[in-house]
Chains A and B, each alone.
Chain A
């Protein structure tokens, strides 16, 4: 009797502990699941990257005009000023467009930064692709240096007709050696 109970307890405990482990793993599994979910839905406003050749093949929809607005910010304590040279541009879907951004390092030391993009509304994120962007790599500015940086993008003509305005925002974060390794990995995947 005693040993039967002992056996039953052990079996139950090992099953429950397995459930604990599985749920701990599930918490971590939510990280890639969330990324996939965001890729599919464009939920967190991450925009896509395509090659210049692909962009050239996209047919331009001359009949339609989409307004693209630009927003910039820097993370708290990051010693740069950062602005777009134009606040908005009207584009035909399918046409490749170049816009310039300007950053100035206001501190007296060289600083590396990583820009993180976000597009609103998120439903449009899947239809917005870049062929060139300063956010693809880290940017380093010497003390007091000012630099103009390009973004070349295409709006996919399949963009849902009800969306007429897109807002593209960039935030500069301080790039650390380890954070940038992660950022570059995700750049290859996504931006």
Chain B
């Protein structure tokens, strides 16, 4: 294969030099790299905001920031991490890996691909510039609930248009993934042979296409309510603020699966590799992901149990929510069964993947607790919710991103990363992230509300522990950057296969892969030999 690849490589380098290469590139690997670098930068910007939050909460009283800035930090931390760090990172992985996994030469719509990336820096310039405006950034929470969000000053239209741009970017990315997988699969790559990362991304893409336009509609209604005299959410004009919550969470719940489904795909690639065993229950994994995606559209009101719903509504949304535990449980059991009686080794990607399975499951369990209506009335809007969604998003989505980065970094760069430093990064991150978020369960159960810059003194001890964990976790991420930079600049030469147990088309290419790969489709035999 590398012969053929090298051959194509010879006449393949048509890119311009310097910055214009990155501005005008339509190459899936270049765009994937830009997405991943952008996401890493956003991870540190959002992380810096989290550090300000944890610094202020280190002890009771107002120490460092005023409440307005504190509130805009919680708001922007969420928007930056969701739309700037996690979602672009998944699109970056999709760009890099999907064409190589399905034996395609590139993404189906390369020029759209360039556009969907370059919208992002503009959108975040709009959003983050609000911090320097009179009145400050948006501070009404990332859920943008009216009437509070309508009190936002100059930042308001910037917030709305940033959300529009981010939605457009992710919809374009999703359309590209669907077109690539539907139309560019190599001959012999049938749907039920697709690697699970491709499957989960296809499902994610449909969730994006179906839910992002609803968010666009909701924020457009906010915009017209504020500036054009409509009354969608204004009670004085015959509207209803609760309606916004329904529309927002109709988008918002599929959104949380948009953030986590590709993580399921990555973990399903890594665990079989280091367990040296095929994935247990491939087809049940596919159906489970589909079932989760379907259910995600009919559970939205579990985010709003306390708005005053009729009993029948509370019961329906409770049962539908708890039902999601079934397909999710199938996935967890399959990962455990894959590891069962296998020949495991514990390289850094595997460590992150195993930590994902354990810690994501903890986040899933606290989600079940929140899904049970009667107890949600106690937990609603407390730190228990904060602990829950950080377990599923940080030790879930972000850990899977790190696992995937360590897993494919040798393939991308052609060099092995520093395994010792990687393990240090893993252990410090995993210990500190639990010190950071586990005490927040206790704070929430004891009644500490979210989104407050100051708190009653009985919450002081666990907040201090949580903040110390936060600082260590934040600092330890610089090790991640050091590992990546070292790996890009040099290191032991990586083999094509990289990992002993690696299966799949991407490992048949050279490390690093040629600029244009699979200009001729791969041999069907190499497709069938995969571990999926």
Contact = CB atoms under 8 A, between A and B. Distances in A.
A179 B234 contact: yes
- Which of A175, A178, A182 has the most chain B CB atoms closer than 10 A to its own CB? A182
18 contacts: A12-B178, A13-B109, A16-B174, A23-B209, A23-B210, A26-B214, A27-B247, A31-B232, A44-B242, A114-B236, A116-B238, A171-B235, A173-B234, A173-B235, A174-B236, A179-B236, A179-B237, A183-B231
B216 interface: yes
Interface in A34-86: 34, 38, 41, 43-44, 75
Contacts of A34: 240, 243, 246
A179 B238 CA distance: 8
A16 B209 CA distance: 7
Contacts of B389: none
A23 B171 CA distance: 12
Nearest to B168: A20
A30 B250 CA distance: 10
A9 B183 contact: yes
Contact of A21 (B109, B213, B251, B308): B213
A15 to B, nearest CB: 9
B194 interface: no
Interface of B: 108-109, 171, 174-175, 178-179, 182-184, 209-218, 221, 229-232, 234-240, 242-243, 246-247, 250-251, 308-310
A22 to B, nearest CB: 8
Contacts of B231: 179, 182-183
A176 interface: yes
A53 B188 CA distance: 76
Contacts of B308: 122
Interface string A1-23: 00001001100110011011101
Contacts of B217: 24-28
A182 B237 contact: yes
B182 A12 contact: yes
Contacts of B236: 75, 114, 116, 173-176, 179, 183
Interface in A150-191: 171, 173-176, 178-180, 182-183, 185-187, 190
Contacts of B221: 27-28, 31
A180 B231 CA distance: 10
Given A116-B238, A180-B237, 18 more contacts: A9-B183, A12-B179, A16-B175, A16-B179, A21-B213, A23-B211, A25-B217, A26-B214, A27-B213, A27-B216, A28-B217, A31-B232, A31-B243, A43-B310, A114-B236, A173-B236, A182-B237, A186-B238
A182 B213 CA distance: 26
A123 interface: yes
B232 A24 contact: no
B310 A23 contact: no
A9 B110 CA distance: 12
Contacts of B182: 8, 12
A30 B179 contact: no
Given A30-B246, A31-B243, A183-B231, A19 B238 contact: no
A-B pairs, top 7 by smallest CB distance, nearest first, are: A27-B217, A173-B236, A186-B238, A178-B229, A24-B213, A179-B237, A23-B213
Given A30-B246, A34-B243, A9 B310 contact: no
B342 to A, nearest CB: 39
Nearest to B215: A27
Contacts of B184: 5
Given A24-B217, A182-B238, A186-B238, A30 B247 contact: yes
A13 B112 CA distance: 11
A12 B183 contact: yes
Contacts of B108: 9
Contacts of B250: 27, 30
Contacts of A122: 308, 310
B238 A185 contact: yes
Contacts of A12: 178-179, 182-183
Nearest to B229: A178
B235 A182 contact: no
